[in-house]
Amino acid sequence: MMLSRVLARLDVGLDHSIERLFELLKYKSVSTDPEFRENCRETADWLVKDLKTIGFDASRRDTIGHPVVIAHHDGPNADALHVLFYGHYDVQPVDPLALWEDDPFNPKIKERNGHKVISARGASDDKGQMMTFIEAVRAYKQETGQLPVRVTILLEGEEESGSSSLYSLFEMYGNELKADYALVCDTSMWHRDTPSISVSLRGLLGEEVIINAANRDLHSGYYGGAAANPIHILARILADLHDQNGRVTILGFYEGVEEIPEQILTAWKALNLEARQFLKPIGLSLLAGEKGRDLFELVWTRPTAEVNGISGGYEGDGFKTVIAAKASAKVSFRLVHKQNPLKIRKAFRTFVRSRIPADCTVEFLDHGASPAIQLSFDSPLITCAKTALSEEWPNPAVLVAMGGSIPVVSKFRSLLGMECLLVGFALDDDCIHSPNEKYDVNSFHKGQRSWARILAALST
Amino acid sequence: MMLSRVLARLDVGLDHSIERLFELLKYKSVSTDPEFRENCRETADWLVKDLKTIGFDASRRDTIGHPVVIAHHDGPNADALHVLFYGHYDVQPVDPLALWEDDPFNPKIKERNGHKVISARGASDDKGQMMTFIEAVRAYKQETGQLPVRVTILLEGEEESGSSSLYSLFEMYGNELKADYALVCDTSMWHRDTPSISVSLRGLLGEEVIINAANRDLHSGYYGGAAANPIHILARILADLHDQNGRVTILGFYEGVEEIPEQILTAWKALNLEARQFLKPIGLSLLAGEKGRDLFELVWTRPTAEVNGISGGYEGDGFKTVIAAKASAKVSFRLVHKQNPLKIRKAFRTFVRSRIPADCTVEFLDHGASPAIQLSFDSPLITCAKTALSEEWPNPAVLVAMGGSIPVVSKFRSLLGMECLLVGFALDDDCIHSPNEKYDVNSFHKGQRSWARILAALST
């Protein structure tokens, strides 16, 4: 009864909720680039202000990096269940800007492939997703004068750049943040009619390798053939990272990697997603990576090594016959099961160092490390959410694995002992981390309704 | 008698000649970057004006690219020897600008390692070198009222970017340019006391490879392990370019490469340059490249493949877990003896294409091709120049090979049938193509005197 009033209010209030999201999307909260530091602070301030209008005790907590927003709201009574909602207000860089159809920080409603979408950097990842929860809570409060459970909200500003400030906050504010469950809205639907709950996530290890050779850029006519070329050294290292079967060659890399039970693989195969169908929207047709593995294994449960960026020598227009003084690459590893990120970091560095000539040097930059995480398939939390989602959407919810990392999830478990629920309404064609990011208006609207249903279900 | 007056005038006029060079160095004639197009035109205009003050019939000849300057001056009589002097007024890009001690386009006299030097982009390559000849001619004209030989001057603006407009001019203006000999001032001294004449030069082939995979940048969490990563493909190609012995693996690459006669290798060994001594100024100590070869072979007479630049994915600060849509590299080949640049270009493209997955594509950009050149060791021209240089400098001139390319030299021979004399006064520490380029005042001064001596010797 109360839930249906809340749902009705969400329907009526959709346009206003979009206006609020537009305000938030205008902030250029690119966390990885120091140029946008002030924009991140302003984004946090906007969120604090907005949460206060709902009745939250909200505040900005500054860190060495970007601030975190923490907000509390009582439940209906002292015994009420306590949930922590986590989202992130920071976004990925927008480059290459030339490929955007519109200004990434001037959100618009557009029609894309027959669907109304909100177009902007962060529309999906994660501002739009984060606001689905906040709008659900707002409607509850407005409609009923209270919330069905006790709610703490934690919104961070460094998810896209390693969350390096967040975990020390867990030590400082652990008592404030510890709840019965953590709810995270940063994942995708299986299909636009089929919601999903993510129960396993790959971990992530980020490394930057900088190889230094000569003390300055050299003329390749004078020195070519005699002086070390750091791009050659780097290319060799990166090529050596995989063997002919696409397996990572770093010593001990597969330690802790488990085979997925046949039963689960069978269930995933029933989802009926073919490699060609998966790759077609991105213009590809052949599975790359480890040979002899199923698509679901490749993207969900097998570890990877990917070079995310490479740079060296003359990169401008035209040509310059130079031997560069240095070359660098950003490399990330997606980790699964019990792989130990720190052991792999060490093994990777040894792997690289063993390929550096004695008169050259190598530096490493640490871009964060988090292990993979495997959640329960059938806890009361998961079961309750599955039912609630299945009532909202055309098809019942499915339990899936995820190729991406949400490092905070493993920290919630390891540092705060909380079980997590990973529910999100992004779609595969949202272009997150890419030009022309969007979030379907339907995701935003039914996402709000989904959270209202989940909160109602958790409160009973 | 006449020569000693000209030499004396060059001594007295040094400061004025430096002032003129400074004017020329202030022009930002970076030919490879379209942004500096206008600057190149202005540089050509300045040269035309300066040559007219000497009495040359000088004019700017516009091309699709940057203009060429052509100037003529009669000899003392109708039977006089006719020489063509070639130089280039364009310069390399200045990046990375942060590594320059001074503004690269605001020339200064500085003290470096106990020597007075002229510091600026192009001070050595090739504005300073080019002006040594022009100053010699100017002094001759001022002192004697005429020139000892008939002189045509050809100054181009695309040497650093492939000379793509020059050779069609040879067809158009061949009659104007054809002379008895071509004199080129774009090479180095063997040592600051020992002048050299270059008798063999490596050729150059420039290629850019652009690998396209997905139709947009991808999130490495969603697609990592399943989608092709163009940086991996590129790294594999570049690593495959060399075998474990540093030999280039492209099919047929060594066709036309000759072994150097033992006698010449012995003469070079007598120059007594050790690998450590050669590499020390650039902060290296180990010979890279082809194994089992002497330093002189590596830098003078063996062909190479060098990656001059590489780019792909996220290259900014911080980290972005992206799988790039494309990756690219600039690759150049130094060629020797009878290697055929066009055959090698074709073989390289086949080599690359065979390593591109069927769902990815590759594009190539052609950045020019010129074969290697081998000049005579003992022609009258070489002998005459050797004597003149040996009179000017503390040590006698030596005949050497060169690792770099001066494509125009092969065109002088093939298109205009001219024998070339390659004399230059650059030093190994001039940092050409690098930050903090300089030209020793001594190179500039004694370079002028050297040309006066060579012109005098040629006229008798």
ipTM: 0.72
Supply B24's token pair: 């020329």
Strands B115-119 and A203-212: unpaired
> pLDDT tens across B355-376, in order?
999 999 999 999 999 888 877 7
> Please, which contacts does B97-102 make with residues 24 or more away whose CB atoms are closer than 8 Å?
B97/B435, B99/A216, B99/B435, B99/B436, B100/B435, B100/B436, B101/B435, B101/B436, B102/B436
Output the pLDDT for position A402. Answer: 79
Rg (CA), chain A: 23
CB contact under 8 A, B321 and A204: yes
A283: left (phi over 0), alpha (psi -120 to 50) or beta: left
**A interface test, pick of B282, B323, B336, B429 with most A CB neighbours within 10 Å:** B282
Q: Residue B330 and residue A307: Cβ atoms within 8 Å?
A: no
* Contact between B222 and A431 using a beta-carbon 8 Å cutoff: no
Q: Given pLDDT bands bounded at 50, 70 and 90, which one contains residue A66?
A: very high
Residue A99 is given by DSSP the state: G
Structural contact between residues A71 and A153, judged by C-beta atoms closer than 8 angstroms: yes
Residues of B whose CB is below 8 A from A329: 231
pLDDT at B460: 86
**Confidence grade of residue B261 (pLDDT, cut at 50, 70, 90):** confident
Cβ contact (<8 Å) for A313 and B315? no
Tokens 């894309």, located at residue:
A112
Q: How far apart are CA A314 and CA A179, in angstroms?
A: 53
pLDDT of residue A398: 86
Average pLDDT across chain A, whole number: 94
SS3 B314: coil
Q: What percent of chain B has pLDDT over 70?
A: 100
Q: What tokens appear for A194 in the block?
A: 């089929």
Highest mean pLDDT pick, A149-153, A301-305, A403-407: A149-153
Helix (H) or strand (E) holding A361: strand A361-370
- Using CB atoms, which residue from B231, B403, B434 is nearest to A217? B434
Residue B35's CB is within 10 A of a number of other CB atoms, namely 12
Rounded average pLDDT over A371-387: 86
Q: Which amino acid is at B408?
A: V
pTM of the model: 0.73
**Partner-chain residue, chosen from A217, A306, A367, that has the shortest CB–CB distance to B433:** A217
pLDDT score at A99: 92
Of A239, A275, A304, the CB nearest to B224: A304
| pLDDT (average), residues B167-182 | 91
- Partners of A314 on chain B (C-beta within 8 Å) are 93, 95, 308-309, 330
Would strands B419-422 and B181-184 be described as parallel, antiparallel, or unpaired? parallel
Q: Which is more confident, B286 or A410?
A: B286
| pLDDT tens track for B284-334 | 999 999 999 989 899 888 999 999 999 999 999 988 889 999 999 999 999
B218 vs A282, A321, A330: nearest CB: A282
Q: What is the pLDDT averaged over residues A172-197?
A: 93
Instruction: Give the pLDDT confidence score for residue B210 in this predicted structure.
Output: 98
Contact A225 B334 (CB under 8 A): yes
Q: Chain B closest CA to A452's CA: distance in Å?
A: 28
- Which letter, b or e, does each residue of A34-53 get, where b requires 16 or more Cβ atoms within 10 Å of its Cβ? eebeebbbebbebbbebbee
Q: How many whole angstroms separate alpha carbon A83 and alpha carbon A136?
A: 14
pLDDT digits (tens, 9 = 90+) for A72-118: 999 999 999 999 999 999 999 998 899 999 999 999 999 999 999 99
Residue with tokens 């599975």: A287
Which tens digits make up the pLDDT trace of A141-161? 999 999 999 999 999 999 988
Lowest pLDDT segment from A323-327, A341-345, B334-338: B334-338
More confident: A331 or B225: A331
Residue of B nearest to A160 (CA): B320
> Is the pLDDT reported for residue A264 higher than 80?
no
- Residues of B within 8 A of A295 (CB-CB) are 226
Residue A1: pLDDT over 80: no
DSSP string, A251-310: TTTTTT--PPPHHHHHHHHTT---HHHHHGGGT--S--SSTT--HHIIIIIS-EEEEEEE
Q: Percentage of residues in chain B with pLDDT exceeding 90?
A: 78
Write out pLDDT tens, residues B81-112.
999 999 999 999 998 899 999 999 999 999 99
- Least Cα separation, residue A95 to chain B (angstroms): 9
B458 vs B168 pLDDT, higher one: B458
Question: Which residues of chain A lie closer than 8 angstroms to B218, CB-CB?
Answer: 282, 433-434
Provide mean pLDDT across the span A390-399. 92
Strand residue runs (E) in B218-325 = 218-219, 304-313, 322-323
Task: From chain B, pick out residues whose CB is under 8 angstroms from the CB of A309.
Answer: 231, 312-315, 320, 322, 324
Measured between beta carbons, which residues in chain B are less than 8 angstroms from residue A279? 226-227, 359
In angstroms, what separates the C-alpha of A143 from chain B's closest C-alpha?
Answer: 38
Q: Which residue of B has its CA nearest to A202?
A: B221
> Edge to edge, what strands does the sheet with A108-112 contain?
A108-112, A115-119, A438-440
Chain-chain contact of A307 with B226 (C-beta, under 8 angstroms): no
Residue B114, pLDDT score: 95
Task: Tell me the residue type at A47.
Answer: L
Chain B residue with Cα closest to A164: B318
Closest partner residue to A235 among B222, B228, B307, by Cβ?
Answer: B307
- What does residue A343 show for φ and ψ, rounded to 5 degrees? -65, -40
Query: Chain B residue closest to A248 (CA)?
Result: B225
Do A315 and B324 count as a contact with CB atoms less than 8 A apart?
Answer: no
* pLDDT attached to residue B85: 98
What's phi and psi for B267, nearest 5 deg? Answer: -60, -40
**Mean pLDDT value of segment B238-264:** 93
A266-280, B241-255, B296-310: the lowest-pLDDT one: A266-280
Alpha-carbon distance of B289 to B306, in angstroms, equals: 10
Encoding tokens for residue B273? 């340059």
pLDDT higher than 90, residue A261 = no
User: Nearest 5°: phi and psi at A198?
Assistant: -90, 125
CB of A434 within 8 A of CB of B222? no
Q: What is the pLDDT of residues B134-147, one digit of tens each?
A: 999 999 999 999 99
Average pLDDT, chain B: 94
The pLDDT score that the predictor gives to residue B130 is: 98
Percent of residues, chain A, with pLDDT higher than 70: 100
Interchain CB distance below 8 Å, A99 and B216: yes
In the block, tokens 């850019």 appear at B208
For A302, the closest of B93, B225, B434 (CB atoms) is: B225
Chain B residues with CB-CB distance to A313 below 8 A: 307-310, 330
Quick one: pLDDT at residue A145? 96
Q: What is the mean pLDDT of residues B176-185?
A: 96
Q: Above 90 in pLDDT, residue B78? A: yes
Tell me the per-residue pLDDT of B419-434, one tens digit each, with 9 for 90 and over.
Answer: 899 999 999 899 999 9
Strand locations in A143-202 (E): 150-156, 181-184, 196-201
* Mutant choice from B296, B319, B330, B409 vs A, greatest count of A C-beta within 10 A: B319
pLDDT of residue A219: 87
